[in-house]
Amino acid sequence: MNDSTPDIIKKQMEIFLSKSESERFRIGNELNSFGRKVLESSLRNDHPGLSEIDLKIAVFKRCYAPFYSPEEFDRILFCMKEFLLKENRTTQ
C-alpha cells in the first residue's frame, strides 16, 4: 500500500537518511519486530491453538516459502522442527 505522495516519500527518506547508522539500524530493527508481532498475531487469530513451535514454523513459512524449491523447503522445515523440538526439550 502506498498512500503517500512522492514529495512526502522524499521528505521521509531525507529524515531517515539524516539519522546516524545506529539510529537507522534501531529503527529498522523496531520495524522488523513490529512486523513480526503483527504476523504472529494474525497467525494466532487464524489458528487459536497454535503452539510456540508451530507459530515459529508458520512465521518461517509465510516469510520464506517463495525463496526455496518445494523439496528444499520441506527439508528446511523438517530440520527446523527437529531443532525446535530438541531445543524445547532442553529448556524444560
**pTM for the full predicted model:** 0.75
Q: Kindly list the domain boundaries of the chain, sorted by start residue.
A: 1-50, 51-92
Q: Which 3 state secondary structure label does DSSP give 69?
A: coil
Angle (nearest 5°) at CA 33 between 61 and 84: 45
Q: What is the pLDDT of residues 24-82, one digit of tens each?
A: 999 999 999 999 999 999 999 999 999 999 999 999 999 999 999 999 999 999 999 99
> How far apart (Å, rounded) are the C-alpha atoms in residues 11 and 82?
47
pLDDT of residue 88: 84
